[in-house]
């Protein structure tokens, strides 16, 4: 293969470039719950955070590209609204549902065209079934894990797309994925937390590039000391994904938003204001 063909192949593998003409795009951060930790120990397999108490936020994101809407992650279940639940080291709470916040923007669940999931954990899929008409975007390996027979409760939460005989439209994403086909929003392969875990990169005309971590990181300290949760599915994949994400963020001069870190809430406008 000659040099020109090698370069052309590399461009194709790298994914589409950002469109020359900026698309009409904006992004809102939605409050999708709170997770209070009595012990952060499980978030490191080398005992980095043993005994530490911590409060995490649960963030979802609404992205409008022209007249199409993507919901990125679906938070804790709506049934938790106004209540709390204890699970292991977590106390879970929810003040507003996604539908409540859409209503503040004069939108309804029916207006959502796409639901993109960073991964299959409960705090990221809890309200997905509110949007059965939307196309689901999920990592292929995550979808395979959910339908393997070992995760029936998770499969039930994604029933419109992953139950037997489901009719919901679904895209099982392998590698990176250009969500709108114009380079403005891409799901990034960042495996390790789960087999098909994804992060998201969003190119906004005024704000610049924003990278949403999914659960690659849960809080800032994990960036500095490479804290790998004990419950991740693959340690080596996690570390490789951290390396890739960090390099991309630096090369794109991106604003990194750790979705669970409340210290990152001010990196985007406060709802109902949007980043443009």
- Taking only the tens place, the pLDDT of each residue in 147-169 is 998 899 999 999 999 998 899 99
pLDDT at 2: 46
CATH number of the domain within which 176 lies = 3.60.15.10
> With contact defined as beta carbons under 8 Å apart, do 121 and 215 qualify?
yes
According to DSSP, residue 140 is labeled H
pTM: 0.92
Contacts of 176 (CB under 8 A, 6+ apart): 15, 186, 187, 188, 189
Summarize pLDDT for 223-234 with one digit per residue, the tens.
999 999 999 999
Q: What is the 3-state secondary structure (H, E, C) of 177-229?
A: EECCCCCCEEEEECCCCCCCCEEEEEEECCCEEEEECCCCCCCCHHHHHCCCC
Quote the pLDDT of residue 22: 74
Q: Are 186 and 201 a contacting pair, CB within 8 Å?
A: yes
Sheet containing strand 170-173, edge to edge, reads 84-87, 90-93, 25-37, 54-65, 68-72, 114-116, 135-139, 170-173
> Does residue 3 sit within a domain?
no
Is 190 a domain residue?
A: yes
Q: Is 79 domain-assigned?
A: yes
Name the phi and psi angles at 131, rounded to 5. -125, 55
In which residue ranges of the chain is pLDDT below 50? 1-13, 15-19
Token pair, residue 136, equals 């689901």
Confidence (pLDDT) at 18: 43
What whole-number distance in Å separates Cα of residue 252 and Cα of residue 240? Answer: 18
**In this structure, is residue 17 part of a structural domain?**
no
Q: From edge to edge, which strands make up the β-sheet containing 255-257?
A: 177-178, 185-189, 198-204, 208-212, 255-257
Tell me how many domains the chain contains.
1
What secondary structure letter does DSSP report for 89? T
Which residue in the block uniquely carries the two structure tokens 């990125």? Answer: 72
Neighbours of 202 (CB within 10 A): 26
* Residues spanned by the domain of 192: 24-267
pLDDT at 20: 52
Residue 4 lies in a domain: no
In a domain, residue 272? The reply is: no
Residue 122 forms part of a structural domain: yes
């Amino acid at each position: 293969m000659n040099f020109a063909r090698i370069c052309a192949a590399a461009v194709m593998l790298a994914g589409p470039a950002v469109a020359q003409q900026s698309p009409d795009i904006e992004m809102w951060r939605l409050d999708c719950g709170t997770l209070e930790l009595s012990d952060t120990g499980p978030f490191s397999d080398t005992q980095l955070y043993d005994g530490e108490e911590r409060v995490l936020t649960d963030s979802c994101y609404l992205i409008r590209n022209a007249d199409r809407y993507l919901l990125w992650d679906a938070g804790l279940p709506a049934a938790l609204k106004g209540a709390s639940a204890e699970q292991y080291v977590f106390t879970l709470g929810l003040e507003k549902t996604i539908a409540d916040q859409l209503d503040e923007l004069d939108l309804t669940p029916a207006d959502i065209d796409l639901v993109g999931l960073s991964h299959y954990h409960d705090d990221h899929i809890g309200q997905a079934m509110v949007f059965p008409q939307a196309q689901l975007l999920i990592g292929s390996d995550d979808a395979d894990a959910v339908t393997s027979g070992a995760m029936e409760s998770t499969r039930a939460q994604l029933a419109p797309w992953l139950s037997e005989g489901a009719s919901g439209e679904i895209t099982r994403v392998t590698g990176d994925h250009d969500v709108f086909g114009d380079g403005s929003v891409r799901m990034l392969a960042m495996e390790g937390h789960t087999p098909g875990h994804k992060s998201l990169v969003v190119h906004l005309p005024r704000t610049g590039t924003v990278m949403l971590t999914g659960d690659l990181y849960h809080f800032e300290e994990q960036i500095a000391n490479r804290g790998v949760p004990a419950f991740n599915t693959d340690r080596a994949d996690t570390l490789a994904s951290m390396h890739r994400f960090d390099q991309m963020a630096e090369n794109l001069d991106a604003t990194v938003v750790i979705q669970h870190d409340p210290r990152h809430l001010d990196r985007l406008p406060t709802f109902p204001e949007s980043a443009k």
